[in-house]
């Protein structure tokens, strides 16, 4: 099977998965989190987490876990958070870990949360560093990376980098409270934890919006109709050659050719 046809079939599989998740909205969660910058970390440490938001795709209800909320309960002022960060972060991750454990049967929709720099592994590792006890890892089949899914559906050129911000502009989705990765790093360094939390809440709302538009086909992108549907000469040629009717036609044509040659010599 050629690359063109493989990409087309992968697109169909992703669309099937989207519909499957959409059919189980009440058991589908959108997750996003904000953290310290994970670039230029010369000491190799994982970034500190500041807030996590989880939105139920069906009900729209959102659970959130944040440094400033834990600090408020502990009577720690905003200006004192930095001096108590590790303990506050551990308690926040304890709460999130309990929530994840209770909802491990759900599908978790995320945006590029794939590795130790930024993702489920990074949260788990940070929890361990703080001497917490993270829950068992989510099975891979319980995770759905919407960022990769959109590439499979629309192709790599569907939006400019950074793609999430670009897709907001293309679809005229409001970016109120939305912070870019660079802005989040600045906010963290400035101790603007409430601002980070609001951005995280906004992003799970945005991801749920993008997911819904992807399911119903209303998401606007920079991809052409041909790119989206994978219709090009290479795909057409592969579909023809793989179809059993074409194979049968080829056999019949070969037999007819042989018969024609035989009759020509009689």
pLDDT of residue 266: 58
* Closest of 249, 223, 215 to residue 28, by C-alpha: 215
* 227 or 50: which leads in pLDDT: 50
Q: Does domain 3-228 have CATH number 3.30.420?
A: yes
pLDDT of residue 237: 56
In this prediction, what percent of the chain has a pLDDT beyond 90? 74
pLDDT class of 181 with cuts at 50, 70, 90: confident
Lateral strand order in the sheet of 28-35: 62-66, 49-56, 28-35, 107-110, 143-145
pLDDT class of 204 with cuts at 50, 70, 90: very high
Quick one: tokens of 256? 């007819």
Cα separations in angstroms, 74 against 62, 88, 127, 189: 22, 9, 19, 22
Of the listed ranges 98-112, 142-156, 232-246, the one predicted with least confidence: 232-246
pLDDT class of 253 with cuts at 50, 70, 90: low
* 74 or 264: which leads in pLDDT: 74
pLDDT class of 260 with cuts at 50, 70, 90: low
3-state DSSP helix/strand/coil percent for the chain, to nearest 5?
A: 60, 10, 30
Place of tokens 């926040």: 92
pLDDT of residue 45: 84
pLDDT class of 245 with cuts at 50, 70, 90: low
Mean pLDDT of the chain: 89
pLDDT of residue 39: 79
pLDDT class of 44 with cuts at 50, 70, 90: confident
pLDDT class of 261 with cuts at 50, 70, 90: low
Domain ranges for the chain: 3-228, 233-264
Quick one: tokens of 16? 């099937």
pLDDT of residue 182: 87
List of residues 6+ apart from 9 with CB closer than 8 A: 1
Place of tokens 């991801």: 207
Ranked by mean pLDDT, the top range of 4-13, 22-31, 246-255 is: 22-31
Tell me how far apart the alpha carbons of residues 163 and 172 are, in angstroms, rounded to a whole number: 14
Of the listed ranges 31-40, 117-126, 173-182, 257-266, the one predicted with least confidence: 257-266
In this prediction, what percent of the chain has a pLDDT beyond 70? 83
Quick one: tokens of 101? 């454990």
pTM for this entry: 0.85
């Amino acid at each position: 099977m050629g690359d063109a046809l493989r990409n087309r079939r992968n697109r169909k599989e992703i669309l099937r998965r989207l519909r499957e998740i959409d059919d189980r909205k009440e058991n589908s969660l959108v997750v996003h989190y904000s953290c310290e910058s994970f670039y230029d970390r010369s000491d190799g440490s994982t970034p500190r987490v500041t807030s996590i938001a989880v939105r139920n795709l069906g009900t729209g209800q959102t659970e959130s876990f944040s440094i400033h909320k834990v600090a408020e309960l502990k009577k720690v002022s905003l200006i004192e958070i930095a001096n108590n960060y590790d303990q506050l972060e551990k308690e926040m991750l304890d709460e999130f870990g309990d929530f994840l454990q209770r909802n491990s049967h759900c599908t978790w929709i995320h945006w590029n949360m794939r590795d130790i720099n930024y993702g489920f592994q990074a949260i788990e590792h940070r929890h361990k560093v703080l001497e917490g006890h993270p829950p068992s890892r989510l099975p891979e089949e319980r995770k759905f990376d919407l960022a990769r899914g959109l590439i499979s559906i629309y192709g790599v050129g569907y939006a400019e980098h950074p793609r999430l911000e670009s897709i907001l502009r293309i679809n005229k989705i409001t970016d109120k409270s939305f912070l870019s990765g660079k802005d989040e790093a600045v906010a963290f360094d400035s101790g603007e934890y409430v601002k980070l939390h609001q951005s995280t809440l906004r992003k799970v709302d945005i991801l749920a919006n993008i997911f819904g538009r992807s399911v119903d086909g209303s998401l606007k992108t920079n991809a052409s109709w041909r790119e989206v549907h994978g219709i090009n000469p290479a795909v057409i040629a592969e579909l023809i050659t793989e179809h059993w009717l074409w194979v049968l036609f080829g056999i019949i044509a070969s037999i007819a050719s042989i018969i024609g040659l035989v009759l020509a010599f009689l």
